[in-house]
Structures are given as C-alpha cells and as structure tokens.
C-alpha cells in the first residue's frame, strides 16, 4: 500500500503531461512508476494490471505543510481570555509538531488547565529522537532481534568485549539485544 501526495496539484507531471487533479488513478500510478525509475515500456501495463489507485482530493491537508512562524496561529489561551481557548492543530503550542493526535489532546489539556486554574503540567512529548534507547530498540527490530556480528580480528573483538563489559554502553547494547552476553 502506498499513499502518494501531490503538493502542487495543478502542475503537469513529468510522464503524464496532466495535472494531478486531472489524472485518473491509472495515470497517477503511471507518474509514480516513472518517478521510481520503472522502464517506460513497462509502465502502462503495470499501471493497468498490477495496481489499483483511488484518487482523493484533500484540499485542506496542505495547510499542515505550509511555512509558518511563531504568531501565525493563535495561542491556546490568548492573553486576557477567561472563557475561551483555541484547541487542535491550528493553535500555537511548543510541545509537539502538528499533524498528530497528541498535539490536539495537549492543546485541550493546556486550555482546560489554564482556564480552570489547575496547577498541573501538560505531559511532555516523548523525546524519542533524542533517546538512545529508542534508537537501539529500533535497531534491534530492524535486525529482527539478531545481535550484531562484528567480523573483527579475535584480539580486537576480545578487547572491545572487555571494554563493553565494564560500562553503560555495553549494558545498553546487551539490554537491547545488539550484542550477546
């Protein structure tokens, strides 16, 4: 399953010389196959027989990807507001990137806590991008749980294993199954 998105729906394609908004499903598949580097002679047959495409227009989804700066969106609770707030993905909060359910939930929490005077913090976003444990867990899953086999000379392997035995890096690598015991 593939989801294709055209940011400029009115611009003609490189293979199908029509705008995305005017293309049939088969023509969209043809354009996609062209961009994947499929030999041009094979494109029409593959688009007709090997794929099914259902074109859908989502005119407002582009707003998520438009350039913006601080102040373009209203604060969740604007200064001086006592009985209203802006919630959802078009309110300004620094906690998350838009286009997530969590963003919408956090702005609702932020609004309720501020308007009701509740002294409680909104849960922070899990910083998986900066958490080495998340990266190690992802690496383990990419390797189907197999340990890394470093094909090193025996002397170097022993020395490295000895170093990893006595520090937190080795502990993390063992915990996430990237090196054996």
Structural domain contains residue 12: yes
C-alpha span between 157 and 115 (Å, rounded): 60
- Note whether 106 and 154 are same-domain residues: no
Q: The domain that contains 15 carries what CATH number? A: 3.30.9.80
pTM of the predicted model, to two decimals?
0.46
Distances (CA, A) of 172 to 83, 130, 133, 178: 49, 15, 8, 9
Instruction: List the chain pLDDT tens, one digit each, 181 residues.
Output: 888 888 788 999 999 999 999 999 999 999 999 999 999 999 999 999 999 999 888 777 767 777 778 788 899 999 999 999 998 888 887 665 666 667 778 889 999 999 999 999 887 776 666 778 888 888 888 888 777 776 778 888 788 888 888 888 888 888 888 777 6
Q: What is the span of the domain harbouring residue 103?
A: 64-116
Note whether residue 123 is domain-resident.
no
Using alpha carbons only, what angle is made at residue 9 by residues 8 and 14, rounded to the nearest 5 degrees? 80
- Looking at 28, 57, 86, the residue that finishes a domain is 57
Q: How many domains does the chain contain in total?
A: 3
Burial label for 106, CB within 10 Å (0-12, 13-18, 19+), is buried
6 and 47 together in one domain: yes
Which pLDDT score, from 0 to 100, does residue 99 have?
62
The answer to whether 12 and 19 are in contact (CB under 8 A) is yes
């Amino acid at each position: 399953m593939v989801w294709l998105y055209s940011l400029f729906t009115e611009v003609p394609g490189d293979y199908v010389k029509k705008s995305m908004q005017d293309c049939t499903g088969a023509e969209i598949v043809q354009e996609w196959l062209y961009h994947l580097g499929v030999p041009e002679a094979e494109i029409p047959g593959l688009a007709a027989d090997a794929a099914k495409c259902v074109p859908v227009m989502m005119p407002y989804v582009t707003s998520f990807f438009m350039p913006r700066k601080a102040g373009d969106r209203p604060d969740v609770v604007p200064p001086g507001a006592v009985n209203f707030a802006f919630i959802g993905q078009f309110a300004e909060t620094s906690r998350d990137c838009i286009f997530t359910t969590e963003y919408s939930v956090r702005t609702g929490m932020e609004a309720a806590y501020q308007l009701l005077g509740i002294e409680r913090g909104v849960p922070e976003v899990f910083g998986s991008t900066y958490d080495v444990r998340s990266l190690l867990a992802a690496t383990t899953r990419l390797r189907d749980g197999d340990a890394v086999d470093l094909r090193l000379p025996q002397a170097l392997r022993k020395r490295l294993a000895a170093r990893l035995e006595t520090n937190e890096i080795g502990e993390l690598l063992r915990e996430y199954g990237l090196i054996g015991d």
